A and B are shown apart, each in its own frame.
Chain A
Amino acid sequence: QKEVEQDPGPLSVPEGAIVSLNCTYSNSAFQYFMWYRQYSRKGPELLMYTYSSGNKEDGRFTAQVDKSSKYISLFIRDSQPSDSATYLCAMLRGTGNQFYFGTGTSLTVIP
């Protein structure tokens, strides 16, 4: 079993929709949770970085962590065509420097 599971999609939504992207994990030691956005032929770009459970909001993006369910989500409100990309979740235990990545979800926002 992989430590981090992420549905690869692809996910296709109309412009203006609310998008929900999700990852599950198996290791309860994970303390730090990240979401990256990766455009085609570019490197992953850090979108959100959260510690422990709860919500964090940044503009149209909200990251949610539920440690009891070992489940994290990224919500995108009022989605735009420029949000079309692959979204990667990542996790860190807080000791050592090994990052655990999901394989990414491909999102297309249709104008």
Chain B
Amino acid sequence: TAGITQAPTSQILAAGRSMTLRCTQDMRHNAMYWYRQDLGLGLRLIHYSNTAGTTGKGEVPDGYSVSRANTDDFPLTLASAVPSQTSVYFCASSGTVGLSPLHFGNGTRLTVT
């Protein structure tokens, strides 16, 4: 089934450790996004990429970095995790920037202790 694959599905991470959340799409979409979802706050954009080789900052980028080496992959890295980064992280993609809806993966549930 075409779509977005995220890994791992869940992770417990000690504060101060680094981690990369993986995201791969097979829909050949140009744009990819990382959101975090927290109770009462909804979905908040962390970083995005409109096309391979470019990235941009969203609403809550601090503590996170991304890269977009090719069309299909968009990893999210936490360099030094803090407890406030405990959240559910969703990767998403869209076709034509500004005109197409988002398609989401099933998320990575991260707990920072």
Contacts and interface: CB of A to CB of B under 8 A. Distances in A.
A and B form one complex? yes
Given A44-B104, A46-B102, A92-B98, A97 B50 contact: yes
A34 B94 CA distance: 13
Main SS of chain B's interface residues?
Answer: strand
Interface of A: 32, 34, 36, 41-46, 49, 88, 90, 92-99, 101-104
Nearest to B91: A43
Contacts of B90: 43-44
Main SS of chain A's interface residues?
Answer: loop
From B50, B102, B106, residue with most partner A Cβ within 10 Å: B102
15 contacts: A32-B101, A42-B106, A43-B92, A44-B102, A44-B104, A45-B104, A46-B103, A90-B102, A96-B97, A97-B33, A97-B98, A101-B42, A101-B43, A103-B40, A103-B41
A18 B23 CA distance: 37
B48 A97 contact: yes
Given A43-B105, A97-B50, A104 B42 contact: yes
